[in-house]
A and B are shown apart, each in its own frame.
Chain A
Amino acid sequence: MPEIVAERYTGASIKRSEDPRILTGTGRYVDDIKLPGMLHAAFVRSPLAHARVLSVDVSAARALPGVVAAYTGADLEAMTVPGPDVLMALMGAPGPSPEFTLLATDKVRFVGDPVAMVVAADRYFAEDGCDLVEVEYDDLPPVANAAFALDPSSPPLFANLGDNIARPHSRSEFGDVPATFAQADRVMEFHIDVHRHQNVPMEGRGCVASYDSDLGVMTVYAATQSVHVSKIAVAMRLGMEHDQVRVLAGDIGGSFGLKIGASREELAAAAASRALGRPVKWVEDRGENLTASGQAREESFDVRAAVSNDGDLLGLDVKVVIDTGAYPGMGTMVPGIMQEMLPGPYKLAALGFESTAAITNKASYVAYRGPWASETFVRERVIDLMAKDLGIDPVELRLRNAAERTDPPASMITGRPLVGVTTRESLERVAQLVDIPAFRRRQAEGREQGRYLGIGVATFIEAAPGPRSPEGPSGPMGTESMRLRLEEDGMVVLFTGQMPHGQSHQTTLAQIAADEFGVPFEQVRVVVGDTAVVPFGLTGGSRSATMTGGVALHGARQLKVKVLDFASQLMEASAMDLQITDGNVWVRGDPASAIPVSEIAQQAASGQFGADVDANLEVQASFDGGEGGWSGGTHCAIVDVDIETGLVKVERYVAVEDCGALINPAVVEGQIRGGVAQGIGAVLLERSAYDQDGNYQSATFMDYLLPTASDIPRIEVDHLQTVPLDADVNFRGVGEGGMIVAPPTLVNAIEDALAPFGVRIREQHLPPARILELIDAANAT
């Protein structure tokens, strides 16, 4: 077994190596790229939710000085190879596959659907060209909500489907659902709505596609969560071999699930570049981003809960309808995860789960940070509603129902073992940090003076990566690969398919590898974003802490073995007696023997060794997640609700989290706080609003409201001591939890504040006007 180097970097809030470039404006985002001869694309988009396209006339646009080309949907189809949405094909989305063109041809299906593309010398001219494109539409009845979509009389968006059902209705049962409900003291029923909101990274989607007609090679500079997925998409749609496409990515201005693969517009830009033989840039503006990039989460739930009078949540029966928007994809995959995760950390004896996904004339449903999050919202809301009805404290109720840590571990009724889950500890820790009795006294005093304070808690677990299945041989999230190399200048270089867009991988992976290999942090470089050199990978699903952290650890260890084997020949010592610290290889007990690793690498590269010596100081490592494990935690919010204006102030927010061993606490806390801020935004501010005709109403930042520094409080983060499951790798993902659990935490707190009015909340979005409506409705009954 290799010697364990004292940890120096892992676990410390090492300053980020990304920051010097970001703080000086020298980062390189896709819109910063300028290539010789580069052109700019803009799109004509549908102003209507649902219409037949009768004609598209781009001739006036083509004639405009500055415009180089203008394409209709039919033009683009002739320039590309037909095929399904690539990402969905790769992920194996269930349900029927609608016909899918890059630009609308026969029909437009949502406000913002791209209809034509103009390519010009700059973006100003491209937009001028768009103004001149004439499109004739024939209105069709808009299918503006899921209820109408499921009505057989609604006009099908896709002729080849015949109806508007993206995922056929299905039902599953775990445990004995009828018996559990029959035996329950009471059955509670709720309808719970989760509203449409969206990712809104500060940088929109975009790319620069550059086709070299001499070489027949397409190079795409992309903003993407995976250069390889983008490459596959481009190759498929352009009918090119994989080796003819290279995708590169630099700094990426956030994504939160939005930038997976290559979008329709990016594929169109690539096709235009090939047709024109010149680089084409398309960077979406904020209007396009809000209107057309995709939206998430519009789901409605009918929930029945089987409950005992003592406060046991015995079973749930949940029916969900998902509004997938116009081009079904992610929305058809989410129900499966919701179903699996619905029991959460609780000892449910039975779960019934039904789902349907409907196609509507709205922007498409995309992955947004914790795509399945509504299951947590529903469950944690149900627990609080139950607590109110039974007169039991909500923290007590959660403790009563949360599974104990037993050996063998309890399992969720849907299957996965709850091994190492620290829900109970996090609930107790929150209660301790917040001093709930003291808050209740303050709350009572406040109410006497007309001040309405409320407290809410909610708890979650996240399979990041999830426990190793007791049966199967494979890890919880597939495998993650990495290539690692010792360069002649002594740098340890990690090639990863992760495509960080804020997650600080260039820092955290270097911390792990530096410790494991034995070099200073500065002597590790993390290479990302080039399909020519990095292995397949994807940043998403909170996978990188365990999967990539793990492969960095094991890979550095493998590389070290290899380097020591080689060094043993140079240094005439047994590899067993050698070690690497501070970038030097030395014989144990003989500091004078130290040789810098750079020198070892130079020797290896000198070519003076025979075939019997492995002088290639590079390894290809892979990791299957090891024992895996759960992330999770409990959050608590204290709010102050102004009952005359409906304004909610979040006075205090506490997050107790267990994401395993921390690689870099400041990075972890940044992920948690950022997620919580998005959750607070979703509840208080953000809504992707459509009117009843499917017109989009949130197309600017004056209408789609993101939280600002005045809306988000200090977020106190407390880390729990984790239960280690794996011998080496106990880092767990933390990217999504904040966004998953903040909405129920906040809504629970708001309901608590409004308890004197008897308000019961069954929805997620609570802008000020809605708060007053809820109070009025409760007062009226």
Chain B
Amino acid sequence: MVDITLTVNGVTRTGSVEARKTLADFLRDDLDLTGTHVGCEHGVCGACTVIVDDREVRSCLMLAVQAAGSQVTTIEGLAHDGGLGPLQQAMWDSHSFQCGFCTPGFVMQATAFLAAHPEADEQQIREALSGNICRCTGYQSIIDGVLLAAQRTRQG
């Protein structure tokens, strides 16, 4: 077992993990942050996407021990004053999701992408989100939510 300390959603967390445990499993099982979902555990679906030190990563393809000392943000960390963050609000307004299983991955991926590319157009957003799989929506409502969030941010 390895002892680790990291910051998750602004809070210092510690844990004692087997080296083989993925960051996704650590967040879900050890920290009870079940908002991060696992949909494939081999890096393809994007449901487990979280932000580690300002970059989006797949938490199923990173070991928990590797996150020691890092700043990790999960979907639970996006709420503003207990309410929805601007992207979440725009996604609610756009009826972005159905079953919600893919949602944490899309929200985190789009959060990271919009932070780096606030001026992105639809085509760029589609490409940026093409590593995340949603089986329910056909994507349009998700793209619309991201576009709406980008537009609101630009308008201040």
Chain A residues within 8 Å of B, Cβ to Cβ? 13, 15-16, 18-29, 31-32, 34, 122, 124, 200-203, 251-254, 256, 285-286, 501-504, 666-667, 670, 673-678, 700-702, 706, 708-712, 714-715
- Is B138 among interface residues, defined by CB-CB distance under 8 A? yes
Question: Which residues on the B side are within 8 Å of A27 (C-beta)?
Answer: 35, 100
Residue of B nearest to A679 (CB): B138
Task: Determine whether the beta carbon of B97 is less than 8 Å from that of A23.
Answer: yes
Question: Which residues on the B side are within 8 Å of A702 (C-beta)?
Answer: 42, 44
B133 to chain A, nearest CB (A): 5
Interface stretch, picked from B26-34, B51-59, B64-72, is B26-34
Chain B residues within 8 Å of A, Cβ to Cβ? 18, 20-21, 28-29, 32-42, 44-45, 47, 74-76, 78-79, 84, 88, 91-93, 95, 97-104, 107, 125-127, 129-143
Known contacts A673-B141, A700-B42; A708/B131 CB under 8 A = yes
B contact face: mostly helix, strand, loop, or mixed? loop
From A20, A21, A23, A254, B98 is in contact (CB under 8 Å) with A254
Task: Determine whether the beta carbon of B100 is less than 8 Å from that of A253.
Answer: yes
Task: Determine whether the beta carbon of A504 is less than 8 Å from that of B88.
Answer: no
Task: Determine whether the beta carbon of B40 is less than 8 Å from that of A200.
Answer: no
Question: Which residues on the B side are within 8 Å of A23 (C-beta)?
Answer: 75, 84, 88, 91-92, 97, 100, 103, 107
Task: Determine whether the beta carbon of A25 is less than 8 Å from that of B130.
Answer: no
Can you sample 12 A-B contacts with CB below 8 Å? Answer: A15-B92, A23-B97, A24-B79, A25-B74, A25-B104, A32-B28, A202-B37, A202-B101, A203-B37, A286-B39, A673-B138, A709-B132
Give Cα distance in the complex from A29 to B78, angstroms.
20
From A19, A501, A709, B97 is in contact (CB under 8 Å) with A19
Task: Determine whether the beta carbon of A253 is less than 8 Å from that of B35.
Answer: no
Question: Which residues on the B side are within 8 Å of A714 (C-beta)?
Answer: 140
Question: Which residues on the A side are within 8 Å of B33 (C-beta)?
Answer: 25
Task: Determine whether the beta carbon of B101 is less than 8 Å from that of A203.
Answer: yes
Task: Determine whether the beta carbon of A701 is less than 8 Å from that of B99.
Answer: no
Give Cα distance in the complex from A165 to B141, angstroms.
44
Number of A-B contacts (CB under 8 A): 171
Question: Which residues on the A side are within 8 Å of B42 (C-beta)?
Answer: 286, 700-702
Residue of B nearest to A702 (CB): B44
**A203-B39, A675-B138 known; 11 other A-B pairs, CB under 8 Å?**
A19-B91, A20-B84, A251-B100, A254-B99, A674-B135, A701-B45, A706-B133, A708-B133, A709-B139, A712-B138, A715-B138
Q: Which 4 A-B pairs have the closest CB atoms?
A: A25-B35, A253-B101, A22-B100, A673-B138
Task: Determine whether the beta carbon of A254 is less than 8 Å from that of B135.
Answer: yes
Task: Determine whether the beta carbon of A252 is less than 8 Å from that of B32.
Answer: no
Give Cα distance in the complex from A711 to B34, angstroms.
30
Question: Which residues on the A side are within 8 Å of B141 (C-beta)?
Answer: 666, 670, 673
B28 to chain A, nearest CB (A): 8
B89 to chain A, nearest CB (A): 8
Give Cα distance in the complex from A256 to B136, angstroms.
9
Residue of B nearest to A290 (CB): B40
Give Cα distance in the complex from A184 to B33, angstroms.
67
B154 to chain A, nearest CB (A): 21
B10 to chain A, nearest CB (A): 15
Task: Determine whether the beta carbon of A201 is less than 8 Å from that of B143.
Answer: no
Task: Determine whether the beta carbon of A201 is less than 8 Å from that of B93.
Answer: no
